[in-house]
């Protein structure tokens, strides 16, 4: 199998390392080609034995699957520029955090140039970014969200799962781009906004010695890549605005109960939240 990786950051680098580790462990004849804006990172990945060579005009048509792991706008630009080079056998999968625009463009390009495009979102990562933090086990047991062009092509979905086997995903969810972005606004983007805002309290500067699991859980994703997340937030503006308005309204209820000295209302609000958690997570 021949694999192309576009962008050797945290996600793309981890994908390259996962396929290399699987290839070495199972004695598979994998060839991994990569493109990266920084030539130094690409050269290092080749010298270290993770990548076999450069993903370019000659190697792009040879690939069975190409992972596009750039920021959304850059991913779209790459696909538009290279679509004529993608072979009919090639599956092109983006690994971006939003899906509506990139899937719209990807599906159109696939129809025009006769290749297969699949939207993909691995639900894994860390607060660090860059190739140095990538690892072969990043996706092991993690969920993978897939946005296919159609939902009833069982052979296509089965082929995608086989192509992704070396990454080690634990489960697959199949959805459409609109539902993906609506849900991800709640499960991921809102959490990053809230965490980032939470640490701006002046009290945060004196937390040492007074914080434990709750603080660590709340602040883990405050340490983020602001360039990438700004692009993701604006790509998904309306769903994220809905989630922000929802949590602002809820927080106002807690604040009002406290300010009014209404213990009964506070107790009810806390109870409702606990019951919601129990119902959602079983």
Residues 212-266 pLDDT 10s: 889 898 999 999 999 999 999 999 999 999 999 999 999 999 999 999 999 999 9
* 87 and 124 fall within a common domain: yes
Q: Which among 144, 175, 206 is the end of a domain? A: 175
Q: What is the CATH number of the domain that holds 269?
A: 1.10.3660.10
3-class SS letters over 31-51: EEEEECCCHHHHHHHHHCCCC
| pLDDT of 158 higher than 90 | yes
* 29 and 140 fall within a common domain: yes
Q: Which among 136, 152, 175 is the end of a domain? A: 175
* 161 and 273 fall within a common domain: no
pLDDT of residue 128: 84
* 31 and 89 fall within a common domain: yes
Range of the domain at 114: 2-175
* 156 and 190 fall within a common domain: no
CA 194 to chain centre: 18
* 113 and 15 fall within a common domain: yes
* 171 and 185 fall within a common domain: no
Tell if the pTM clears 0.75, that is, is over it: yes
Residues 62-110 pLDDT 10s: 999 999 999 999 999 999 999 999 999 999 999 999 999 999 999 999 9
Cα–Cα dist 181/100, whole Å? 7
Q: What is the CATH number of the domain that holds 165?
A: 3.40.50.720
| Cβ density class 62-89: b for 16+ within 10 Å, e for less | ebbbbbbbbbbebbbebbeebbebbeee
Query: pLDDT-derived band of residue 269, with 50, 70 and 90 as boundaries?
Result: very high
* 21 and 144 fall within a common domain: yes
Cα–Cα dist 45/9, whole Å? 11
* 190 and 132 fall within a common domain: no
| Cβ density class 169-201: b for 16+ within 10 Å, e for less | beeeeebebeebbbebbeebbbebbbbbeeeee
Name 75's Cβ contacts closer than 8 Å, sequence gap at least 6: 6, 7, 68, 69, 94, 96, 102
* 162 and 192 fall within a common domain: no
- Domain count for the chain, please give it: 2
* 79 and 166 fall within a common domain: yes
What residues form DSSP beta bridges with 146?
120, 174
Bridging pattern class, strands 143-147 and 116-122: antiparallel
Q: Which among 119, 149, 175 is the end of a domain? A: 175
* 114 and 218 fall within a common domain: no
């Amino acid at each position: 199998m021949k694999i192309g990786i576009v962008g050797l950051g945290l996600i793309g680098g981890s994908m390259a390392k996962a396929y290399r580790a699987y290839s070495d462990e199972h004695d598979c004849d994998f060839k991994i080609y990569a493109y990266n804006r920084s030539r130094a990172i690409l050269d290092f990945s080749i010298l270290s034995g993770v990548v076999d060579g450069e993903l370019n005009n000659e190697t792009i048509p040879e690939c069975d699957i190409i992972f596009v792991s750039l920021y959304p706008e850059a991913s779209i630009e790459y696909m538009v520029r290279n679509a004529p080079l993608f072979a009919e056998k090639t599956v092109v999968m983006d690994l971006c955090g939003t899906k509506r625009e990139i899937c719209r463009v990807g599906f159109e390009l696939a129809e025009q140039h006769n290749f297969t495009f699949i939207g993909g979102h691995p639900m894994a990562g860390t607060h660090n970014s860059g190739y140095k933090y990538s690892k072969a086990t990043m996706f092991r047991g993690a969920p993978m969200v897939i946005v296919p062009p159609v939902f009833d092509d069982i052979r296509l979905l089965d082929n995608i799962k086989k192509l992704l086997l070396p990454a080690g995903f634990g489960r697959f969810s199949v959805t459409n781009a609109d539902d993906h972005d609506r849900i991800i606004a709640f499960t991921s983007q809102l959490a990053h906004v809230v965490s980032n805002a939470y640490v701006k309290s002046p009290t945060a500067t004196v937390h040492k010695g007074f914080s434990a699991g709750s603080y660590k859980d709340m602040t883990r994703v405050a340490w983020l890549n602001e360039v990438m997340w700004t692009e993701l937030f604006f790509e998904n503006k309306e769903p994220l605005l809905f989630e922000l308005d929802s949590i602002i309204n809820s927080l106002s209820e807690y604040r009002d109960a406290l300010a009014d000295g209404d213990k009964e209302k506070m107790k009810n609000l806390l109870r409702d939240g606990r019951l919601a958690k129990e119902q959602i997570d079983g």
